[in-house]
Amino acid sequence: MPARHLIVGGGTAGLNAIRTVREEERMRGLDPSEITLVSAERCYSRMVLPYYLWGTISESHVYTATPAALTAWKVKALVGRKAKALDAAARTLTLDDDATVEFDDCLIATGSRAAKAPIPGADGPGVHCFWTLDEATDVLAAFNKPIPTGTDPGDQRLGWGDERPRGE
């Protein structure tokens, strides 16, 4: 029976693991193993989010693996699903709908979270993180709102200043 690999997280580490497994199998002449990917979001690279925010690349260039690519790599992709519980002894992962995935080995590649500074006001309105694509989209939405009268535009375009409004 081929090995059952479970990868939780569709970011760079998760996709590199998939590519590495497939490359090792190809080099050793092995039949493809079973790979299941559990990812709450579509596969994308967080490393290119600053380029997306700046407008250098479009959102479509943030994504790193299409459903067709995952199919070509023979990956069972459970995109839009979240891990609820992991039982390492039983080698099962319970998903957000209580379905279970059995595995022989598991890689948890969910990444990290942006940490807000532990100072007053860091969680207030107008303070944004952009570690995830959703957060980056929220930043763009906030910056693309009209600037209120009587405020300094530099205060509204944190990181961009007023020298290059998005879209120009």
Dihedral sign computed on CA atoms, order 154, 157, 159, 161: negative
Q: Is the pLDDT of residue 145 over 90?
A: no
- Show me where the domains of the chain are located: 4-46+63-108
Cα–Cα distance, 161 to 99 (Å, whole number): 48
pLDDT of res. 146: 58
Confidence bin at 157 (pLDDT 50/70/90): very low
Domain 4-46+63-108 sits in CATH 3.50.50.60: yes
Q: Is the pLDDT of residue 108 over 50?
A: yes
pLDDT of res. 164: 43
Instruction: Determine the distance from the C-alpha atom of residue 71 to the mean position of all C-alpha atoms in its chain, rounded to a whole number.
Output: 19
